[in-house]
Amino acid sequence: MRRARWLAPWKDSFERPVIYHCVTRVVERRLAFGVDEKEQFRTYMRMYENFSGCRVLAYCLMCNHVHILLEVPPMKEGGLTDEGLLKRLRAIYSPAYVAEVAEELTEAREKVAAGLGNEVLVTRIHERFSYRMHDLGEFMKTLLLRFSRWFNTRHERTGALWESRFKSVLVEEGSAAKTMAAYIDLNPVRAGMVADPADYRWSSYGEAMGGGAKGNGKKARAGLVRAIMAHRGCAADARHWAGRVSREYRMMLLEGGQEKLKEVVNEGGGFEVKVVRKGMKKTAVDAELERLQRSRDVALGKMLRCRIRYFTDGAGIGSRGFVDEVFRLCRDRFGMKRKDGARKWRGRGAAAAGTLWSARALKKGIG
Residue 366's pLDDT band, with cuts at 50, 70 and 90, is very low
Amino acid occupying residue 97: Y
C-alpha 56/C-alpha 12 separation (Å) is 18
C-alpha 73/C-alpha 53 separation (Å) is 7
Q: Identify any residues that bridge with 178 across adjacent strands, giving them in sequence order.
A: none
What is the predicted pLDDT for the residue at 85? 97
CB 238 within 8 A of CB 253: no
Inform me whether the pLDDT recorded for 333 exceeds 90: no
Relative orientation angle of helices 120-130 and 82-89, to the nearest 10 degrees: 30
Encode pLDDT of 260-283 as tens digits.
555 555 666 665 555 554 455 555
Query: What mean pLDDT comes out for the span 299-326?
Result: 73
- If one counts every other C-beta atom within 10 angstroms of the C-beta of residue 13, the result is 12
Q: Calculate the average pLDDT of the chain.
A: 83
Asked whether residue 149 is assigned to any structural domain, the reply reads no
CA-wise closest residue to 174 among 273, 14, 318, 63: 318
Handedness of CA 361, 304, 56, 18 (dihedral sign): positive
Burial of 290 (0-12, 13-18, 19+ CB in 10 A): exposed
Asked whether residue 309 is assigned to any structural domain, the reply reads no
C-alpha 153/C-alpha 161 separation (Å) is 12
Query: What mean pLDDT comes out for the span 302-309?
Result: 65
Encode pLDDT of 180-189 as tens digits.
999 999 999 8
C-alpha 49/C-alpha 43 separation (Å) is 10
Asked whether residue 200 is assigned to any structural domain, the reply reads no
C-alpha 306/C-alpha 299 separation (Å) is 12
Q: State the total domains in the chain.
A: 1
What is the predicted pLDDT for the residue at 130? 95
Asked whether residue 173 is assigned to any structural domain, the reply reads no
Pairing of strands 316-318, 167-171: parallel
Asked whether residue 126 is assigned to any structural domain, the reply reads yes
Asked whether residue 102 is assigned to any structural domain, the reply reads yes
- Domain span at residue 94? 82-130
Q: Identify any residues that bridge with 265 across adjacent strands, giving them in sequence order.
A: 271
CB 74 within 8 A of CB 14: yes
What is the predicted pLDDT for the residue at 73? 94
Asked whether residue 89 is assigned to any structural domain, the reply reads yes
Asked whether residue 135 is assigned to any structural domain, the reply reads no
